[in-house]
Structure 1
């Protein structure tokens, strides 16, 4: 009888090592001026010299996951975009305060070593960091065969951003009667509501990910897996185009929809009035609604 080992317990350290070798290049492409080299270090380093442009710099942080949209990625066996969703969910929250993304860290847990899966997941995270101009500073990969089924995984992320205290966008202090809300289009369903979406599409309507949606020149799976839009480039352009504090508030429309998320930035005694006929919802929303 041979002795116990990690491999006999479901963790292949050789495969784990192979996976780790592919990650530095994905991190390197996100590198920004603040990143400091620390080969073999236990933590990432980021210089705060850039914050000297501000009188009273404030760090802003956000953490999130992508919920059961992961189930859709597993159903499609397509994993190179779900990391974009992860970055977007964290970065977009920080943008609501007018903060500039600095760096990002991820946590990936899976049931067994899978270098190809890990590379695809981190590739998406890397793409999201490039879009956000945030450095992928580090992360953690946990192989837990007794906690996750073979093939299953989960992801979480953490973003650190910064802003000058005087320029923080705090809707509860800035929003006034007569202010105008401007809606910015999403790329689709983003990363919220997928427990209900999956039930409506696959159980209630009986559709499959490969079914065509001719009105959108796409398939069901492609529409549902569309990555969450990262608003960092847009917010940066707005901040450059208008004098602060012309932007009085920003709301990230996630779980709870328009009503719950707008209320999070409104001062006491002020309500929002939305004109339902002032915009046309994207075709994907009408399609989903038609399923009942």
Structure 2
């Protein structure tokens, strides 16, 4: 095995060098890569899953394939391309593909890189809706996980029927069928005054995956079902609070009328003026009640001694 120190000699060994031809490119081992997956239905009705492992390398890498850890070769069920970079597996049941791991190892004389892949059933990772300015045409777009097996899509709509013979507004109904390679769909002739719901269901053969998130267009787009329920629950609480406030106000007015002394609110200016007066402005009740020099206790009255008088006979 050659290393990076004798890359030039290795290049010369695999590429004839003459006066008119020189070694082109630098030798290198396989680099990291991401497997690519595709699915389709063949004429026999079988699901054909293709896995591609392609890694940049000089010289080109040769790919070895494994299924559940066991090496596989071309057969009726497994077909390997001439350059070994693609593996195609065929079966009627989608579960045959998603219950086992597939591995590929890209190798050349300078090294190797390998990846193990666990395939997924039909699924949609994200979806969105884009209407035109008039609201009469919408474009649905969706995305699929890289390792998801999808052979087709069922575009469905709920709302006023585009065809009067299909008037079932309360149910989702199929309006378009798209191949597994599609990632968008256009819907025409919509009524801008009506509300429509759209979703996309992926499938792999006869197996249908989970529907995508629902996308809505029409009046009231800003209110979801949860928001409407919240508003409906809040209306009785608001009415009750209003009745309580009205009752309290009525009781307060009735009390003031019975007392006969209307009370007026004191302005903040008066409150500040009262609060700013110094303590000396208030009378000292202790001094008013203290005894003064003029208010001494009156001495008790003592009567004079009796005087004897002579009586002339």
Report the TM range for the smaller structure's normalisation: under 0.3
- Relative to its length, the structure with more strand (as a share) is 2
Q: TM-score, normalised by structure 1?
A: 0.17
Q: TM-score, normalised by structure 2?
A: 0.17
Q: Which has the higher contact order (CA 8 A, sep 6+)?
A: 1
- Relative to its length, the structure with more helix (as a share) is 1
- Larger CA Rg, structure 1 vs 2: 2
